[in-house]
A and B are shown apart, each in its own frame.
Chain A
Amino acid sequence: MPKSEAALTIRLPARIDWWQGAIMMSLIAILVAFILYPVLRVLWVSLSDEKGDLTLIHFVNFFRRPLFREAFVNTLLSGLLVVFFGSLMAVPLAYCSARYEFRGKILLQTLATLPLVIPPFVGAVALQLILGRSGMVNLLLMRYFDVSFPFMEGLSGVVLVQTLHYFPFIMLNTAVSLANIDPSLEEMAQNMGCHGWRLFRRITLPLMLPGFMAGSLLTFIRVIDDLGTPLMLNYKILLAPQAYLRITTVGIDDVDGYAICVVLVVFSLLSLYAARKYLSLADYATAHRGVVVLKPIRGIRRAFVLGFIGIVLGLSLLPHIGIFLLSFSKIWSFSVLPTSYTLDNYTEILFRAPHFVKNTLLYTLLAAGLDVLMGAAIAFLLLRSRLPGRNFLDAIATLPLAIPGVVLAVGYLRVFHGWDFPGAGGPLTSHWMILVIAYTMRRLPYTVRACYAALQQVHLSLEESAQNLGANRMKTFLKITLPLITGGVVAGGLIAFVTSCVELSATIMLVPKVEMGPISYGIYVYMQSALGRGAGAALGVVAILLVSAGTYLTHRVFGGRAGSAFRI
């Protein structure tokens, strides 16, 4: 009798673990096949010679080529410049948002989301029209003052576009860090005789640094990952465009392209690692007590703050205005405003070539759905199981944050090209599913994090008390856990949807045929010819609307925590 009882108590959990184990194994298999293995293949190509021996010769060659050296320096420089100029806008705004209360503060929230709804490569085209050599501003300057400024030439154009797009990342992260500083830490310093600028330098600044650094590093990762902006501005001396050009023009076997990819991954991985490091430092500073009372500001100081917000808001609205005008223009060339207006561009993309919009909806909704399923399963395994290998699962599910789209695309081309994938009726790279897979894998970290955060909020005791009252595991999950995490899971899915809508750096390399391209690809194709720019802009407006709708829904579902999509 006692023997069988003992056997029962051991077998019961063992059987459940077996199920979890099966799910875990399949998840790991998928992630290894579509994330880890392609990246490792890229790494291996760059590290081996023709005979298959380990070598560093490709990296030596990389640094011997002046073009690559220049691209390397430019990439670092563009990242640093975007962070620098972005901080000049973001830090004061973050401080106002976290510390002050004033009429018109709603503008700040607008500022935090507005730039993010327009994809940077769309913004690039619009800014060309406004700030470019023969754009609105320079034409006006020429007419009245006979001067012009090369805002959009070369690297400075790329940096300008990216700064206007990415500064909210720094702003949101810094504001959160600032808001989390326990007010008594600053009051204590005042009590000790410290105030004003000294107080900021000795207490506030060091305490907000983790959030600021995390935001900056995240921006840095995005900037070096951004392939669309330099391509649109036709500036190619950066690493991502170089990798793209090598692979698409020289060929899939060009080793230099792989070496560039590895350099990109190393940059991103280091930044991601540093960002995590900084954020773990932030944890201890955020023990919170009481409510932070926002300081009201009025009069001249308020006018000053609103003026600054207005300037930044105006600058970040330029791309939106430009793209909107362009989408309704028949001809807009060497003139301050379009010379004639039309609805043809919308007819073109909605009726003559509707596949771009349809494809985007199909791909991104599929990808978001897959992300939600996998994200929820991974989060559950990480938090609620005791299986070995959870850390490995966590690591490869996070990895895509540090894998630039170009690199993943090159890996896919390398791995899935030239052999028939079972069920695809040909190589996977000829099937539109490759885009869905790329989107799913690239955005998986968002849903994993959203589900993880949501599930973490559900204290184990909530589930245990349901079981204690007689609900089995299934019922507990359906009646207790699921309702409590739905918000987080949906928000994670929406974020995956929104960011996939405007994905270009992997898309541009992976689209098998033009008819299979999504909106981002369509924009890129249209923008190649002067006549297609209007239609491209119309697609851009559709992308903005999709992203805005998704962002709005995310805010509705997630509330104040919607910004977490843009943090690490």
Chain B
Amino acid sequence: MMKAAQVRLENVGKRYGKQWVLRQVHLQIEQGEFYTFLGPSGCGKTTLLRTIAGFIAPDEGTVYLDGTPVNHVPPWRRDVGMVFQNYALWPHMSVYENVAFGLRERKVTRAEIDRRVMQALEQVDLKGTEGRRPSQLSGGQQQRVALARTLVIQPRVLLLDEPLSNLDAKLRAEMRLELLKLQREVGITTIYVTHDQEEALALSTRIAVMESGRIVQEGSPREIYEEPGDRFVAEFVGKSNLFLGTITRAADALIEVRTDNGLQIRAAFSVGSARAQQGETVLLNVRPEAVELKPPDAGTSEMNQLSGRVTALAYQGSSVEYEIEVRGRALKAHIVHPKGTPLFQPGDEVHLVFAPQNVGLLHHGL
């Protein structure tokens, strides 16, 4: 079994010149967790990962591994395994030598190295390639060598820097599952960096969404997706229809909002913030897959109905993505049509229908 460590960051900050690339980062990652830094490029997620690995010294704050501050521990004594985005396989060594490198550094006996390298290669399904050079392997195979090389030293923490970003879409989906199984199997504390929200939602036990060097929201994948804390998270994770408006009535676990373009929307009170008061400005979020489309003549009992006109549609196989103009704004709807049923066409009048429970209430911190 692997040694799994707890990772704690306290008020970590880093700047280059006057530019802060990390600010006031607090987080605690428990043993065996699969924790993801999610954010657009330039948000500081890789810098944060490299700070944990020891390649970057924070300008303020402290990094703890299992409760011990490690700010002044050099990378080679931290015992955290990192997998680089470009794999960083040494071109002048064979696959075997690459995987054996860390064990040699740890003065493991020759026989033991041999046994563990072979076991690691078997684990990632690469038996028989040990004599080859990295350049003779496919992208997916290189990725797995990189993983085996890091796992074989049984590090306390596994750091993954966008490890799947250089693979093609199909392989990426496969490797995602492999990675998940492998991580759960060995139980190692894992920190994962990605800009791909799907990847983050699929793999993580918890996610920290980052923007401009700060963590803007931390939570389980469901919390992040279903209860985004602000506009940035709502728009970055999944797709959103956002409405800015004022609360006109707050009662009976239900609020009524009048949006800036004159729509009436009801939201279930319990879903969003508990501090909803009449007259307050709020941001409402309706996910496209929570929306239903009805012909204008079909009756419905749903409390939220907006009428609009289809402007575009994209058939995606499993669903259809519609763009609907409602009072001068473009809204999105993802609709699953049963086999053989007709699709709406551009120009069709439709009603957008959604339940108050599916309306998210965001703080209006715009």
Contact = CB atoms under 8 A, between A and B. Distances in A.
Q: Do A and B come from one complex?
A: yes
A192 B97 CA distance: 13
A188 B84 contact: yes
A194 B105 contact: yes
B153 A192 contact: yes
Contacts, number: 67
B115 interface: no
A195 interface: yes
Interface string A175-195: 000000010110111111111
A182 B90 CA distance: 10
A195 B80 contact: no
Interface stretch (B69-77, B190-198, B206-214): B69-77
Contacts of B102: 192-193
A189 B101 CA distance: 8
Task: Give me the 9 closest cross-chain CB pairs, A-B, nearest first.
Answer: A192-B102, A184-B88, A193-B105, A188-B88, A190-B75, A195-B76, A206-B92, A184-B84, A191-B82
Majority-rule SS of A interface residues: helix
A189 B54 CA distance: 13
Contacts of A195: 74-76
A239 interface: no
Given A184-B84, A284-B135, A289-B85, A191 B76 contact: yes
A285 interface: yes
Given A187-B88, A188-B82, A203-B90, 5 more contacts: A192-B76, A193-B153, A194-B101, A285-B91, A287-B86
Interface in A198-223: 198, 202-203, 206-207
Contacts of A203: 90
B91 A191 contact: no
B55 interface: yes
Contact of B76 (A193, A202, A284, A285): A193
B21 to A, nearest CB: 13
Interface in B78-98: 78-82, 84-86, 88, 90-92
B86 A192 contact: no
A287 to B, nearest CB: 7
Contact of B88 (A185, A194, A198): A185
B105 A187 contact: no
Interface in B121-139: 135
Nearest to B55: A187
A194 B76 contact: yes
A190 B105 contact: no
Contacts of A192: 76, 81, 101-102, 105, 149, 153
Interface residues of B, number: 27
A187 B150 CA distance: 13
Task: Tell which of B55, B82, B92, B102 has the most Cβ of chain A within 10 Å.
Answer: B92
A520 B90 CA distance: 48
B12 interface: no
B53 A191 contact: yes
Nearest to A184: B88
Interface residues of A, number: 21
Contacts of B149: 192
A202 B104 CA distance: 11
A184 B89 CA distance: 9
Contacts of B74: 190, 195
A478 B41 CA distance: 40
9 contacts: A187-B53, A187-B75, A188-B84, A188-B88, A191-B53, A191-B82, A192-B102, A193-B79, A203-B90
B105 A284 contact: no
B106 interface: yes
A187 B55 CA distance: 8
Given A206-B92, A207-B91, A207-B92, A191 B86 contact: no
Nearest to B50: A187
Contacts of B77: 193
A194 B102 CA distance: 8
Contacts of B135: 284
A189 B104 CA distance: 11
A194 B91 CA distance: 17
Contacts of A193: 76-77, 79, 102, 105-106, 153
A208 to B, nearest CB: 11
A192 B152 CA distance: 10
A191 B80 contact: yes
A323 B84 CA distance: 54
B167 to A, nearest CB: 16
A273 to B, nearest CB: 21
Interface in A283-319: 284-285, 287, 289
